[in-house]
């Protein structure tokens, strides 16, 4: 981790289980909202394992697509799965983009800015590299009010462990995740024609093991917390979360709603 990210990022395959599969699903309504067009130069800020970039390239033929992420493991994963010569993925810092001024026609960021300690600096960088008239858009989870699978874990953990309550509070109050904050940040950054919305997907799990598995990995805030527990505490948490998942029925498939805030604006001349 560096000062420009607060997300535990270790393994691309682990991220795919923890969040990549949901990024893939959320990318579709996000692109419906921010738009896409043939022949554009597009920057994906905080590209992760490339799910937004790959979804965009399914929609249109870009002139150039550059994905930037601070986690080398995620950039390597995206590069391995990239089959388009017009796209490239590089390690970089959202708060200090190694890109020329006004060099992109569309600048996007999916599920990243709430993990940036200085999000206003990252937004300023997104504006700097966007040409006048370019669309600049972002999306972050509504961690407190609209992400059931997340709350089920942290609310349960907080009952068992005061330290988990501290992490829960941190997780629910990340930058730009409160109602209206993302749009306000776009207005304050000087974008014009700003509009915002909420996006919803379903998180579908085949079983409790499918839900719990990513928490035993090395990526994301849930796994970061689980790794601090001793064996007894970890098993106690697992059983408590399992009871919440089962919710009075046999183990099996569950589907939870997940909502995100989205914003877009136009880079001024």
Helix H, strand E, coil C: the string for 62-112 is CCEEEEEECCHHHHHHHHHCCCCCCEEEEECECCECCCCCCCEEEEEEECC
CB 46 within 8 A of CB 94: yes
Domain topology for 12-266: Rossmann fold (3.40.50)
Domain boundaries, the chain: 12-266
Does the pLDDT of residue 246 top 70, yes or no?
yes
Q: Quick: pLDDT tens for 92-108.
A: 999 999 999 999 999 99
Does the pLDDT of residue 205 top 90, yes or no?
yes
Q: Which residue has the tokens 């007894």?
A: 232
Q: Which residue has the tokens 């601070």?
A: 70
Pairwise CA distance, residues 144 & 27, whole Å: 21
* SS3 of residue 193 by DSSP: strand
Identify the pLDDT of residue 7.
81
Quickly list H helices, 199-251.
208-212, 220-226, 231-246
Share of the chain above pLDDT 70, in %: 98
- In DSSP terms, 198 is beta-bridged to 261
Identify the pLDDT of residue 3.
43
Residue from 121, 134, 123, 106 nearest 187 by CA:
123
Pairwise CA distance, residues 132 & 103, whole Å: 10
Longest distance between any two alpha carbons in the chain, whole Å: 59
φ, ψ of residue 262 to 5 degrees: the values are: -135, 150
Identify the pLDDT of residue 2.
37
Pairwise CA distance, residues 51 & 16, whole Å: 9
What is the average pLDDT value for the chain, to the nearest integer?
95
Region of 39 on the Ramachandran plot (φ > 0 left; ψ -120 to 50 alpha; else beta): left
Token pair for residue 183?
Answer: 């749009």
Q: What average pLDDT does range 64-84 have in this prediction?
A: 95
Identify the pLDDT of residue 42.
98
Q: What average pLDDT does range 43-47 have in this prediction?
A: 98
Residue from 56, 50, 12 nearest 30 by CA:
56
Identify the pLDDT of residue 11.
87
CB 241 within 8 A of CB 153: yes
- In Å, how far are 18, 61, 162 from 200, measured between CA atoms? 18, 26, 31
Pairwise CA distance, residues 95 & 5, whole Å: 10
- With a CB cutoff of 8 Å and minimum separation 6, the contacts of 74 are 9, 12, 15, 47, 48, 49
With cut-offs at 50, 70 and 90, classify the pLDDT of residue 5.
low
Q: Quick: pLDDT tens for 140-180.
A: 999 999 999 999 999 999 999 999 999 999 999 999 999 99
pTM for the model stands at 0.94
Q: Quick: pLDDT tens for 249-259.
A: 999 999 999 99
Q: Which of 13-17, 72-76, 186-190, 222-226 has the lowest mean pLDDT?
A: 13-17
């Amino acid at each position: 981790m560096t000062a420009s990210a607060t997300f535990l990022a270790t393994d691309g395959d682990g991220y795919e289980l923890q969040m990549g599969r949901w990024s893939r699903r959320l990318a579709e309504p996000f692109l419906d909202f921010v738009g896409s067009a043939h022949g554009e130069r597009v920057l994906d800020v905080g590209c992760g394992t490339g799910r937004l970039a790959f979804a965009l390239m399914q929609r249109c033929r870009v002139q150039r697509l550059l994905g930037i992420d601070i986690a080398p493991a995620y950039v390597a994963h995206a590069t391995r799965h990239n089959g388009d010569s017009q796209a490239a993925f590089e390690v970089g810092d959202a708060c200090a983009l190694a890109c020329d001024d006004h060099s992109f026609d569309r600048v996007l960021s999916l599920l990243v800015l709430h993990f940036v300690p200085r999000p206003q600096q990252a937004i300023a960088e997104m504006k700097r590299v966007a040409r006048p008239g370019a669309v600049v858009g972002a999306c972050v989870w509504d961690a407190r009010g609209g992400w059931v699978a997340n709350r089920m874990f942290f609310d349960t953990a907080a009952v068992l462990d005061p330290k988990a309550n501290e992490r829960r509070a941190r997780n629910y109050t990340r930058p730009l995740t409160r109602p209206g904050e993302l749009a306000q940040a776009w207005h304050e950054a000087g974008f014009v024609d700003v509009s915002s919305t909420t996006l919803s997907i379903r998180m579908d799990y085949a079983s409790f093991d499918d839900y719990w598995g990513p928490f035993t990995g090395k990526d994301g805030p849930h796994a970061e917390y689980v790794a601090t527990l001793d064996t007894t505490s970890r098993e106690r948490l697992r059983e408590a979360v399992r009871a919440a998942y089962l919710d009075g029925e046999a183990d099996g498939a569950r589907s939870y709603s997940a909502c995100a805030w989205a914003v877009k604006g136009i880079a001024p001349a």
